[in-house]
Amino acid sequence: MLKAAVLGATGNVGQIFVQLLDGHPWFEVSVVAASERSKGRTYGEASRWRQSTPIPEAVAQMEVVDVTPNAIKDVDVVFSALPSAVAGKTEEDFALAGYVVVSNASAHRMDPDVPMLNPEINCSHVSLIEEQRRKRKWDGAIVTNPNCTTTVLTLPLKPIYDEFGIKSVIVSTMQAISGAGYPGVASLDIVDNVIPYIGGEDEKMETETQKILGSPSEPADLKVSASCNRVPTIDGHMMSVFVEMKKQAESKAVAVAMENFVGEPQKLNLPSAPEKPVVVTQEKDRPQTRLDRMEGKGMSVVVGRIRKDPVLNGIKFVALGHNTIRGAAGCGVLNAEYLKVKKFI
């Protein structure tokens, strides 16, 4: 078993990391690190565990340590669920100390020498690690997953991009409250309400999508316009997507392309890889957030209502993915699995 540290382990995404690594065939949590406040308490006390599965007993007993390389030893991989404000510098410290950091934070995502992996799509970007090590003069590495909404969006886009080409994408999201962490969104702000604004989210979707669909050295040449909204759901980001393609295609052909899509994680049979990264539903009123977010143990994106779009002369559809699993910790774990197979861990 490889030993894993989780940074920012008491927050919401940190807890999902701990949850997903419980019983994992390759990794086991051996260190939990969090901010000053939690230091010295057991993880059970400090985390105020808020998941609906029980807290893993062994981790509950661990003492929470500082978020610094000095506090850690005998660890094979570091998962970071740090808030972006601290992630930038801290993750560099860990890479400099020789650790491979698999991060959910946005701090380094758009760095040209940092792979931002949605592994079914752009595993090849791990080649950036070499450049990163050379330029930054460290033995470790930083590898990130995209923003939760980008992760969900890019999975169904990838087969379209490969088979028909994409000129542009318009997307309007309906995002769950867990996307803002804990305590995150105040209940007075979201019960019986929609907030049509999430700070920085439109821009993240627009730029990250280009990077993921591009080559390691160059973003994809497509335009993305996003409008992000918070709605009163707990988990699961739903989105309406409108796509202008280079090559015309019927809805059916698009559905087939999505259904047939697999990536490296499926071919390598990675433990967290869903059988199908994209599941296409035929029912007219699906996917639905609460009913479909756990498809593929939360690692699949469910697509429905694929139909002609009269404006972009392309297609439109709805897509749903689990924001804290596929869109955060689950994608991170899948990334680590890929890195292990490729001997980076």
Q: State the catalytic residues.
A: 148, 237
Interface pattern 41-60 for its own copies (x via CB under 8 A): ---------xxxx-------
Asked if 23 interacts with its own copies (CB under 8 A), we say no
Helix, strand, or coil (residue 220): coil
- Are 164 and 254 in contact by the 8 Å Cβ rule? The answer is yes
Cα distance between residue 345 and residue 337, in whole Å: 9
Residue from 155, 231, 249, 301 touching its own copies (CB under 8 A): that is 231
Asked if 290 interacts with its own copies (CB under 8 A), we say yes
- Do the strands 27-33 and 141-144 form a parallel or antiparallel pair, or are they unpaired? unpaired
Residue closer to its own copies (CB basis): 206 or 264: 206
Q: Which of 56-64, 112-120, 194-202, 212-220 is the region at the interface with its own copies (rule: CB under 8 A)?
A: 194-202
Kindly give, in sequence order, each residue whose CB lies less than 8 Å from that of residue 25, ignoring residues fewer than 6 positions away: 271
Asked if 32 interacts with its own copies (CB under 8 A), we say no
Which DSSP symbol is given to 328? I
For residue 39, the surrounding DSSP H or E stretch is none
Cα distance between residue 14 and residue 181, in whole Å: 10
Residue from 30, 90, 118, 233 touching its own copies (CB under 8 A): that is 233
Residue from 139, 189, 218, 275 touching its own copies (CB under 8 A): that is 189
Minimum distance from CB of 241 to its own copies (Å)? 8
Minimum distance from CB of 143 to its own copies (Å)? 28
**Residue 205, Cβ density class (10 Å: 0-12 exposed, 13-18 middle, ≥19 buried):** buried
- Do the strands 77-80 and 100-103 form a parallel or antiparallel pair, or are they unpaired? parallel
Asked if 174 interacts with its own copies (CB under 8 A), we say yes
Minimum distance from CB of 345 to its own copies (Å)? 32
Residue closer to its own copies (CB basis): 230 or 340: 230
Residue closer to its own copies (CB basis): 169 or 301: 169
Asked if 322 interacts with its own copies (CB under 8 A), we say no
- Are 164 and 123 in contact by the 8 Å Cβ rule? The answer is no
The two tokens of residue 205 are: 């979707």
The two tokens of residue 251 are: 């809805």
Minimum distance from CB of 46 to its own copies (Å)? 14
- Are 321 and 6 in contact by the 8 Å Cβ rule? The answer is no
- What's the chain's length in residues? 345
Residue from 38, 90, 118, 178 touching its own copies (CB under 8 A): that is 178
Minimum distance from CB of 54 to its own copies (Å)? 8
Cα distance between residue 137 and residue 70, in whole Å: 19
Residue from 190, 255, 299, 345 touching its own copies (CB under 8 A): that is 190
Residue from 137, 252, 284, 343 touching its own copies (CB under 8 A): that is 284
Task: Give the chain's end-to-end CA distance (angstroms, integer).
Answer: 12
Cα distance between residue 189 and residue 111, in whole Å: 34
Size of site (CB under 8 A) for its own copies: 63
Minimum distance from CB of 201 to its own copies (Å)? 12
Binding site for its own copies (CB under 8 A): 12, 50-53, 168-170, 172, 174, 177-178, 182-197, 206, 223-225, 227, 229, 231-234, 236, 238, 240, 242, 244, 284-294, 304-305, 309-312, 316, 318, 320
